[in-house]
């Protein structure tokens, strides 16, 4: 069938082949899909970038072998200087001139200043954005960082084919590159430029969050290539000062891209326990997109980056993170020293397939033809029982960003494009991130074997989860014998587990019930949620349907014979998908919510968790091929074709939950992965009933966090105490219309909406969320 889709032959995983991860979206960037990828690049193997020997230098000899690190760093090409007349170039840009000499300003104060005064103001703002680079300091810090990395990590692994792909894309396209990376540690911004420079890529400018660091540390980072948003961008400013700061930073990004210097932007919050777009990252992405829309650059090459740690260097102790907490230079050095003493681990960096921003903007494959409504209009009638019907609209996403922090684009269409670009790149960065053995082991101990497990059984489950990950076209960051890999992972998790040697030769592995241990295991296990998120949505939807019928069956044993209708399961999945944010689900904008849920049900059938129940029909109902929607769902189809013959089969399709032990374990595992965010949201709704409103948002967040810790001390559910999950719960409540946000003074006040002043409606919301929790 000529549908315009290029098909690739994918060989099944047999222990000898790993598919290339991080392919760009074929629907939105079809030309980049084939143009910036070559199949032979997938078989080039891996390299350890911190293993520097005599072969990496131009010299040979006894002395060279002892000074190879120093000589290699001296040979690196470091050139990231901006034009020498940057201040004058910024002053002559159209944006700045519109602020300096606005038309019809009249006698407005501050608009008739001489050019010298404006140049001083521009120089002050430019000093907040960047610093003067010091080549000696750059090479010295890279040498010191290399020494630290060799003490902290066994290996820093990167795929040679991915590096070659980025090199070729840069040579062919001849456009500036913007690296959009996931963010796991503050160390990422220090050693990612080191990695790119060591592999022959030009040193990128790193977009940092200026509120995170002390002034001294911020000045050092600026000398090493860091760039910051002006301080006025995060405060209340008068019209003139704010307009000039926005004009200068927008013009600076245009000059940066015109000079074809790479830019590194972090998409996530560094303390995020789940995927959550960073306000600072969205602000820098809006500047890049604005530079393209104004015609300053004809195209930009977007390169998503994924990072995976076996053990993340903790600059701030787990559970003590705070958005207002600053990081100092000596705290960083002390953290690196502590990490060097704790034992060595591995880290993996993956570069996803580059794609053209111009092609992404031109294609406009994101759905705009369907009606879009806020979540409170979509889901609130369903929760309160006013309109129990299937949701037939796409949700308007409300990102948790402060309007003072984001440089606004010119129109609504550009804002929608920014949202879609952010979701696409975040999806690509997370999808290409390798899964470490520590992640798998933590998820098994936290969600399946909380009371302990024998090492022999743990090895079997480890192999099972590894196969499931590889079959879903994700990669793992380990190799070797299973027992050796598990022993290495157990040594890294020695503070979280207790080992008991048995007389039979086996070992009993028991996870500790302490707060530190559960937080650590939960932090590692979240890496598996993006892989199984669709199956987890389906499993929680099955749980909701079973809980509805349990009071009528009499005993839980009868649930095995209960038949689930496809339409009811699909609708329940739609409710849960609409409830959770898009960045949490990693749902691409070019996929409709109904296609996403249909794919979730199909995956459960393929995994064996759902077994098709035969009904009288001309065709077998267990046909999991991608069919079109029925006539009732024609408007929901995201593909360009519809199978009219299957219009009645979807409604008749029924399933039973498999009673096999392996399927029961999979069901518990999937529900456990999605349990922490749902439990946090449920506890937030219960906490509403104990509070008096209005109150400042910051105080509500702190009191909710303390209440979550108090509840965790009672039942041991410390995985629900993550600040990121708390912020996500409050964000969902805002989108549902639970809160009305009123800005008074320095921070917004939260008011309960009229619908949720009644305790009855609060109970309904709690019951709605509780149905999905296993």
Residue 202 neighbours by CB distance under 10 Å: 18
Give the three-state DSSP class for 426: helix
- pLDDT band with cut points at 50, 70 and 90 for residue 83: confident
Structural domain of residue 347, as residue ranges? 30-95+115-363
The tens digit of pLDDT for each residue in 411-421 reads: 667 778 888 89
pLDDT at 625: 42
Whether residue 20 is contained in a domain is answered as no
338/349 same-domain check:
yes
* CATH number, domain containing residue 481: 1.10.10.1420
- pLDDT band with cut points at 50, 70 and 90 for residue 324: low
219/154 same-domain check:
yes
650 near 628, Cβ under 8 Å? no
pLDDT at 4: 47
Evaluate if residue 254 carries a pLDDT over 80: yes
The residues, any chain, with a CB within 8 Å of residue 210's CB and separated by 6 or more, are: 128, 218, 228, 229, 231, 234
pLDDT at 18: 61
Mean of pLDDT over the chain: 81
477 near 426, Cβ under 8 Å? no
Among 230-239, 316-325, 344-353, 508-517, the minimum mean pLDDT is found in 230-239
| Mean pLDDT, rounded, for 61-83 | 77
Query: Rounded to whole angstroms, how far apart are CA atoms 632 and 636?
Result: 9
Burial status of residue 740 (CB atoms within 10 A of its CB: 0-12, 13-18, 19 or more): middle
Find, among 296, 249, 286, the residue nearest to 126 by Cα: 249
The tens digit of pLDDT for each residue in 692-708 reads: 888 888 888 889 989 99
- pLDDT band with cut points at 50, 70 and 90 for residue 373: confident
Evaluate if residue 435 carries a pLDDT over 90: yes
50/150 same-domain check:
yes
pLDDT at 3: 42
- pLDDT band with cut points at 50, 70 and 90 for residue 615: low
> Between residues 460 and 237, which one has the greater pLDDT?
460
769 near 685, Cβ under 8 Å? yes
Evaluate if residue 238 carries a pLDDT over 70: no
Query: Rounded to whole angstroms, how far apart are CA atoms 604 and 611?
Result: 9
Dihedral in degrees, nearest 10, Cα atoms 600, 601, 602, 607: 90
pLDDT at 300: 93
Give the three-state DSSP class for 23: coil
pTM of the shown model? 0.88
| Mean pLDDT, rounded, for 217-224 | 88
pLDDT at 240: 47
- pLDDT band with cut points at 50, 70 and 90 for residue 302: very high
154/244 same-domain check:
yes
From 311, 344, 363, the end of a domain falls on 363
> Between residues 102 and 594, which one has the greater pLDDT?
594
pLDDT at 621: 42
29 near 588, Cβ under 8 Å? no
Query: Rounded to whole angstroms, how far apart are CA atoms 446 and 458?
Result: 12
291 near 208, Cβ under 8 Å? no
pLDDT at 459: 93
Give the three-state DSSP class for 57: coil
Evaluate if residue 772 carries a pLDDT over 80: yes
| Mean pLDDT, rounded, for 378-397 | 75
pLDDT at 106: 47
DSSP 198-220: HTTPPPPEEEE-GGGB-HHHHHH
- pLDDT band with cut points at 50, 70 and 90 for residue 233: low
714 near 441, Cβ under 8 Å? no
Q: What angle do CA 398, 402, 688 make, to 5 degrees?
A: 65
Among 55-59, 81-85, 368-372, 396-400, the minimum mean pLDDT is found in 368-372
pLDDT at 365: 62
Evaluate if residue 103 carries a pLDDT over 80: no
Burial status of residue 94 (CB atoms within 10 A of its CB: 0-12, 13-18, 19 or more): exposed
Find, among 581, 231, 528, 187, the residue nearest to 422 by Cα: 581
225/124 same-domain check:
yes
Among 273-282, 301-310, 581-590, the minimum mean pLDDT is found in 273-282
Query: Rounded to whole angstroms, how far apart are CA atoms 313 and 129?
Result: 27
Whether residue 430 is contained in a domain is answered as no
325/447 same-domain check:
no
305/380 same-domain check:
no
pLDDT at 14: 44
Whether residue 108 is contained in a domain is answered as no
Query: Rounded to whole angstroms, how far apart are CA atoms 396 and 579?
Result: 12
166/315 same-domain check:
yes
Query: Please, where are the H alpha helices in 130-206?
Result: 135-152, 160-173, 188-198
* Residue tagged 């030769």 (tokens): 505
Give the three-state DSSP class for 16: coil
Evaluate if residue 628 carries a pLDDT over 50: no
From 342, 363, 384, the end of a domain falls on 363
The residues, any chain, with a CB within 8 Å of residue 33's CB and separated by 6 or more, are: 6, 23, 24, 25, 26, 353, 355
* Residue tagged 């410390």 (tokens): 718
Evaluate if residue 769 carries a pLDDT over 50: yes
343 near 313, Cβ under 8 Å? no
* CATH number, domain containing residue 735: 1.10.10.10
391/467 same-domain check:
no
Evaluate if residue 107 carries a pLDDT over 60: no
pLDDT at 633: 41
The tens digit of pLDDT for each residue in 648-703 reads: 555 568 888 888 888 888 898 999 999 999 999 999 999 988 888 888 888 888 89
Whether residue 517 is contained in a domain is answered as no
- pLDDT band with cut points at 50, 70 and 90 for residue 9: very low
pLDDT at 529: 92
pLDDT at 322: 64
Whether residue 311 is contained in a domain is answered as yes
> Between residues 536 and 407, which one has the greater pLDDT?
536
413/285 same-domain check:
no
Query: Please, where are the H alpha helices in 303-397?
Result: 329-341, 357-363, 375-378, 380-384
> Between residues 741 and 540, which one has the greater pLDDT?
540
CA 530 to each of CA 60, 432, 479, 624, 626: distance values in angstroms, whole numbers, following the listed order:
47, 11, 22, 22, 22
Whether residue 396 is contained in a domain is answered as yes
Q: For residue 205, report the phi and psi dihedrals to the nearest 5 degrees.
A: -75, 135
Q: What angle do CA 566, 567, 570 make, to 5 degrees?
A: 85
* Residue tagged 């069919």 (tokens): 627
Query: Rounded to whole angstroms, how far apart are CA atoms 129 and 513?
Result: 46
The residues, any chain, with a CB within 8 Å of residue 383's CB and separated by 6 or more, are: 736, 764, 765, 768
571 near 390, Cβ under 8 Å? yes
Q: How many domains does the chain have?
A: 5
133/35 same-domain check:
yes
Query: Rounded to whole angstroms, how far apart are CA atoms 296 and 259?
Result: 11
| Mean pLDDT, rounded, for 495-503 | 89
355/381 same-domain check:
no
To the nearest whole percent, how much of the chain has pLDDT over 90? Answer: 24
From 661, 685, 700, the end of a domain falls on 661
Strand partners for 156:
347
């Amino acid at each position: 069938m000529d549908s315009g889709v290029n098909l690739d032959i994918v060989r099944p995983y047999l222990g000898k082949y790993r598919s290339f991860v991080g392919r760009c979206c074929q629907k939105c960037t079809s030309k980049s899909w084939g143009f910036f990828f070559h199949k032979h690049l997938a078989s080039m193997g891996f390299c350890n970038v911190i293993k520097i020997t005599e072969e990496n230098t131009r010299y040979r000899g006894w002395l060279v072998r002892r000074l190879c690190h120093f000589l290699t760093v001296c040979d690196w090409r470091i050139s990231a200087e901006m034009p020498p007349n940057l201040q004058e170039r910024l002053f002559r840009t159209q944006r700045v001139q519109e602020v300096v000499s606005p038309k019809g300003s009249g006698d407005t104060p501050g608009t008739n200043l001489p050019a010298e005064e404006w140049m001083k103001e521009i120089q002050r703002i430019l000093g907040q954005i960047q610093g003067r680079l010091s080549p000696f300091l750059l090479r010295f810090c890279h040498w010191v960082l290399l020494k630290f990395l060799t003490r902290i990590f066994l290996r820093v692994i990167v795929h040679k084919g991915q590096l070659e792909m980025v090199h070729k894309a840069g040579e062919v396209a001849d456009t500036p590159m913007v690296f959009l990376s996931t963010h796991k540690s503050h160390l990422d911004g220090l050693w990612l430029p080191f990695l790119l420079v060591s592999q022959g890529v030009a040193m990128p400018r790193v977009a940092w969050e200026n509120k995170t660091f002390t002034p001294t540390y911020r000045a050092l980072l600026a000398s090493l290539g860091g760039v910051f948003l002006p301080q006025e961008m995060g405060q209340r400013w008068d019209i003139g000062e704010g307009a000039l700061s926005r004009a200068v930073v927008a013009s600076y990004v245009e000059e940066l891209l015109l000079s074809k210097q790479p830019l590194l932007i972090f998409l996530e919050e560094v303390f995020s326990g789940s995927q959550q777009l960073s306000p600072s990252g969205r602000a820098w992405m809006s500047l890049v997109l604005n530079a393209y829309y104004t015609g300053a650059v004809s195209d930009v090459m977007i390169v998503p980056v994924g990072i995976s740690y076996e053990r993340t260097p903790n600059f701030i102790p787990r559970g003590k993170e705070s958005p207002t907490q600053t990081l100092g230079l000596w705290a960083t050095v002390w953290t690196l020293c502590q990490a060097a003493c704790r034992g060595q681990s591995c880290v993996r960096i993956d570069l996803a397939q580059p794609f053209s921003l111009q092609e992404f903007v031109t294609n406009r494959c994101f759905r705009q033809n369907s009606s879009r409504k806020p979540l409170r209009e979509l889901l609130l009638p369903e929760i309160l029982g006013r309109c129990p019907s299937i949701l037939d609209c796409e949700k308007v996403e409300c990102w948790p960003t402060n309007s003072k922090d984001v440089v606004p684009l010119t129109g609504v269409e550009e804002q929608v494009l920014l949202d879609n670009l952010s979701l696409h790149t975040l999806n690509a960065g997370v999808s290409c991130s390798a899964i470490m053995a520590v992640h798998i082991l933590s998820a098994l101990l936290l969600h399946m074997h909380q009371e302990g497990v024998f090492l022999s059984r743990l090895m079997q489950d480890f192999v099972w989860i590894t196969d499931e990950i590889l079959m879903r076209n994700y990669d793992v960051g380990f190799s070797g014998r299973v027992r050796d890999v598990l022993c290495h992972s157990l040594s890294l998790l020695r503070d979280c587990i207790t080992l008991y040697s048995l007389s039979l030769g086996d070992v009993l592995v028991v996870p500790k019930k302490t707060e530190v241990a559960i937080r650590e295991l939960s932090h590692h296990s979240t890496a598996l949620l993006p892989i199984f998120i669709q199956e987890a949505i389906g499993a929680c939807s099955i749980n909701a349907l079973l809980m509805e019928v349990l009071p009528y069956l009499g005993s839980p044993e009868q649930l095995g014979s209960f038949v689930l209708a496809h339409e009811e399961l699909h609708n329940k999945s739609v409710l849960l998908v609409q409830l959770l944010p898009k960045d949490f689900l990693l749902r691409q904008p070019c996929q409709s919510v109904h296609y996403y849920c249909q794919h979730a049900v199909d995956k459960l059938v393929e995994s064996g968790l759902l077994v098709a129940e035969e009904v009288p029909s001309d065709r077998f109902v267990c046909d999991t091929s991608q069919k079109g929607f029925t006539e009732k769902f024609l408007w929901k189809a995201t593909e360009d074709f519809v199978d009219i013959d299957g219009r009645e089969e979807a409604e008749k399709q029924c399933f039973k939950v498999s009673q096999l032990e392996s399927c029961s374990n999979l069901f518990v595992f999937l529900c456990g992965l999605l349990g922490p965010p749902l439990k946090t949201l449920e506890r937030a709704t219960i906490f509403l009933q104990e509070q008096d409103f209005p109150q400042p948002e910051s105080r509500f967040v702190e009191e909710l966090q303390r209440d979550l810790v108090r509840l965790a001390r009672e039942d041991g559910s410390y995985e629900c105490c993550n600040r990121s999950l708390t912020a996500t719960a409050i964000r969902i409540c805002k989108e549902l219309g639970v809160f009305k946000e009123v800005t008074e003074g320095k921070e917004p006040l939260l008011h309960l909406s009229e619908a949720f002043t009644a305790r009855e409606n609060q109970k309904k919301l709690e019951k709605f969320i509780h149905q999905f929790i296993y």
